[in-house]
């Protein structure tokens, strides 16, 4: 009976999942985003979160809209508004503040 049991296991192929660590260079490559003006955004350089008077995220801080995406869909940090369409178009950025006009849910997935 043992031989039948082992032959059944060998007969069926099982899918395997391999998990490994990621290098710091790969993580920084995932976080980088190049703006149309050629500026590279994606690194948090300041420890600040929100401005105490305006309650807006600090530029290059932990909640920066340039790095992680807009807080409200279609509205950038300086207040410009653009309609977000479902069509696949070129990415639209605000010329003044560099925020991409995308859905605000992108903040959940964007790395920085």
Measured CA to CA, the distance from residue 1 to residue 66 in angstroms comes to 65
Domain boundaries defined on the chain: 22-112
Model pLDDT for residues 15-61, shown as the tens digit of each residue: 677 788 989 898 888 888 888 778 888 888 899 999 999 888 898 88
Average pLDDT over residues 58-79: 86
Task: For residue 26, report the phi and psi dihedrals to the nearest 5 degrees.
Answer: -70, -40
Q: Which of 79, 76, 77, 69 is nearest to 104 (CA)?
A: 69
- pTM equals 0.64
Three-state DSSP state, 94 = coil
């Amino acid at each position: 009976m043992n031989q039948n049991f082992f032959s059944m296991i060998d007969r069926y192929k099982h899918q395997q999942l391999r998990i490994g660590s990621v290098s710091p260079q790969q993580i920084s490559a995932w976080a980088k985003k190049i703006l149309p003006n050629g500026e590279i955004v994606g690194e948090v350089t300041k420890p600040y979160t929100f401005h105490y008077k305006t309650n807006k995220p600090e530029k290059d801080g932990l909640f920066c809209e340039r790095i992680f995406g807009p807080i409200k869909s279609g509205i950038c940090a300086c207040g410009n508004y653009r309609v977000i369409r479902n069509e696949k178009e070129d990415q639209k950025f605000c010329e003044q503040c560099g925020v991409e006009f995308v859905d605000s849910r992108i903040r959940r997935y964007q790395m920085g």
